[in-house]
Amino acid sequence: MFIPTFLKHKNKFKSQIKVTLGALLCSSMLVSNANAWSEHSLITYPILNTMPEVAAQAPIKVETLAEFVTAEAHGLETLLATNEDWLRQNFPYYKPRPDALAFDAAGQDLLTSFIHAIRINPNARVNPYIQLLPGQDKQGRRRLDASEVAVFTHLDNYNSMTFVEVKSGDLVTPIEVLVSANDDPDNGLDIGLFADSNTDAGKLYGFGNQAFGNPALEYGTQAPFHMGFYHESSVLFRLAPFLRDTFPDFRVHMYKALSEYAFSTGHDYWGWRFMGWGLHYVGDIAQSYHSTLQPGVSTASSIWTNTKDMMGFPQAKIDAIQLLSNRHLVLEAFQAIVTKQAYENNDFSSALFKALTQETAVLEYTDNTFVEVFAKNSYDKSDKLADYLERWVPEQLVSDPSFEVDGSKEIKMIVQMIREQHGEAGMTNMTNLLAEFMLDHNANTRSYVRGILTHKP
Ligand SMILES: [Zn+2]
């Protein structure tokens, strides 16, 4: 019954499924603060600290973005033009940068021209700063207000983080720059960039309308830059071609090119900072909820849920949206709590830190690695992730669609609840699963960092 209807009303079906699948994706963004991993800096620092090519580097001089762009205007004009050509030729779903936004070395306002050319949020805070790790000393530096680092109206979740000011000419270590920059893309670089974002930049940038996520929510507009669906079934892509409108692969490629260019011209601060920006998306994609439409749910089931919705039975879809959102948050909350506890207890022998600090085999990074290896591994782990969540996390949090995890008191007690219901076996299994994801994050990070550093003079 489903197939003939689909064939008869193909176009109608397609537009409806866009709406319903869009709502499904939207769900993970409806929650107030769905990142892939909470505070990337905390999980990336232990990895970088075991890489002598990062951790043992001598301090470098801070430089503002305006200084870098002014000093390198001509080289950047060529680099960005070459990069744009490459993206147009090699990324089949790339949304070309409008020609009028090409970086112009002879222009008046070079900083704005650069920001437009790389199509980031013009309000993003690109001033130099350092995010301190828990317990790290301010060394007399001025503490920055969260609003000097992040663009959001609500900044409550930044309360526990400490940012300090650094100025042009100050000396900082590469690892400090890299760890801080790693969170920048979650602080506003990708906010408001779509035609329907109701921003000036969104109207200029050529990314079209936002394919999924909620354009009305401040945080939601970054979703298609931080999630990438590359490995869903072909039938799903045919029914919902908008699933292709995701851009982390483009970001990763562009920031790698910028980082290599900055290193090759002696602007090491921006070499590390751009590398950190690229690393953020490498981290995000390792989380299955950022690489997979519905972890643990088959394509057939996903389409059936949407079909029922179109036939006037929306409950299954409403439930699916709630569960998707709840599970995404559960994984993040579990990671955040376990990571913070390990830092607080100096428990660097935990499974989590072992996974983050062990020398992994380092894959040579190529132009396909992000999609074909990083995103694929994450997609392939999605069934196991869903299965573990169902087995080892209390039902209320992951299998009860009448329960809203976001903002609940239960989510803060997740570790305690796992222990109460599933004993140590529950905690061990969930911790080992998290460690598996962290091991991928570790290997991916090393691969991307080394991929850039092999070009460093
Ligand atoms: Zn992100």
Task: Please list, residue by residue across 388-398, b when 16 or more beta carbons sit within 10 angstroms of its beta carbon and e when fewer do.
Answer: bbeebbbeebb
Q: What is the pLDDT of residues 216-226, one digit of tens each?
A: 667 778 989 99
Tell me the CA–centroid distance for residue 108 and ligand 1, in Å.
Answer: 33
Tell me the CA–centroid distance for residue 452 and ligand 1, in Å.
Answer: 21
Q: Are 128 and 167 in contact (CB under 8 A)?
A: yes
DSSP for 371-400, written as a single string:
IIIIIHHHHHTHHHHHHHHHHHS-HHHHT-
Tell me the CA–centroid distance for residue 226 and ligand 1, in Å.
Answer: 5
Tell me the CA–centroid distance for residue 405 and ligand 1, in Å.
Answer: 20
Tell me the CA–centroid distance for residue 185 and ligand 1, in Å.
Answer: 6
**Is residue 17 classed exposed, middle or buried when 0-12, 13-18 and 19+ CB atoms within 10 A define those classes?**
buried
Give the closest residue to 68 by CA, choosing from 15, 153, 127: 127
Tell me the CA–centroid distance for residue 411 and ligand 1, in Å.
Answer: 21
CA distance 449 to 259: 10
Tell me the CA–centroid distance for residue 30 and ligand 1, in Å.
Answer: 15
Between 332 and 1, the more confident residue is 332
Taken as a whole, the chain contains a residue count of 457
Q: Is the pLDDT of residue 163 over 90?
A: yes
How many CB atoms neighbour CB 198 within 10 A? 12
What pLDDT does 3 receive?
30
CA distance 91 to 93: 6
Backbone angles phi, psi at 59, to 5 degrees: -55, 155
Give the closest residue to 235 by CA, choosing from 13, 8, 28: 13
Tell me the CA–centroid distance for residue 103 and ligand 1, in Å.
Answer: 26
Task: Please list, residue by residue across 295-314, b when 16 or more beta carbons sit within 10 angstroms of its beta carbon and e when fewer do.
Answer: bbbeeeebbebbbbbbeeeb
* Strand intervals (E) in 207-284: none
Q: Is the pLDDT of residue 6 over 60?
A: no
Tell me the CA–centroid distance for residue 223 and ligand 1, in Å.
Answer: 8
CA distance 293 to 295: 6
Tell me the CA–centroid distance for residue 64 and ligand 1, in Å.
Answer: 23
Tell me the CA–centroid distance for residue 121 and ligand 1, in Å.
Answer: 15
Q: Are 188 and 123 in contact (CB under 8 A)?
A: yes
Q: Please, where are the H alpha helices in 107-160?
A: 110-117
Tell me the CA–centroid distance for residue 315 and ligand 1, in Å.
Answer: 30
Q: Are 242 and 212 in contact (CB under 8 A)?
A: yes
Tell me the CA–centroid distance for residue 288 and ligand 1, in Å.
Answer: 13
Q: What is the pLDDT of residues 53-95, one digit of tens each?
A: 999 999 999 999 999 999 999 999 999 999 999 999 999 999 9
Tell me the CA–centroid distance for residue 264 and ligand 1, in Å.
Answer: 28
Tell me the CA–centroid distance for residue 287 and ligand 1, in Å.
Answer: 10
Q: Is the pLDDT of residue 19 over 60?
A: no
What pLDDT does 324 receive?
86
Tell me the CA–centroid distance for residue 44 and ligand 1, in Å.
Answer: 13
Q: What is the pLDDT of residues 226-279, one digit of tens each?
A: 999 999 999 888 888 888 999 999 999 999 999 999 999 999 999 999 999 999
What pLDDT does 279 receive?
97
CA distance 239 to 224: 18
Tell me the CA–centroid distance for residue 186 and ligand 1, in Å.
Answer: 5
**Is residue 15 classed exposed, middle or buried when 0-12, 13-18 and 19+ CB atoms within 10 A define those classes?**
exposed
CA distance 212 to 229: 12
Ligand 1 ion: Cβ-proximal residues, 5 Å cutoff: 186, 226, 284
Q: Are 450 and 424 in contact (CB under 8 A)?
A: no
Residue type (1 letter), 318:
I
Tell me the CA–centroid distance for residue 2 and ligand 1, in Å.
Answer: 37
Q: What is the pLDDT of residues 350-381, one digit of tens each?
A: 888 999 999 999 999 999 999 999 999 999 99
What pLDDT does 12 receive?
46
What pLDDT does 2 receive?
30
Tell me the CA–centroid distance for residue 37 and ligand 1, in Å.
Answer: 8
Q: What are the angstrom distances between the C-alpha of 441 and each of 7, 44, 52, 187, 246?
A: 42, 8, 18, 20, 20
Tell me the CA–centroid distance for residue 35 and ligand 1, in Å.
Answer: 5
Please give the average per-residue pLDDT across 159-180, as a whole number. Answer: 95
What pLDDT does 241 receive?
85
Please give the average per-residue pLDDT across 15-20, as a whole number. Answer: 56
Element (H, E) at 12: helix 10-30
Residue 205 is encoded by which pair of tokens? 């940038």
The distance of Cα 88 from the centroid of its chain, to the nearest Å, equals 23
Residue type (1 letter), 435:
A
Residue 364 is encoded by which pair of tokens? 């040579």
CA distance 71 to 267: 9
Tokens 């112009």, residue located: 104
HEC per residue, 303-342? HHHHHHHHCCCCHHHHHHHHHHHHHHHHHHHHHHHHHHHH
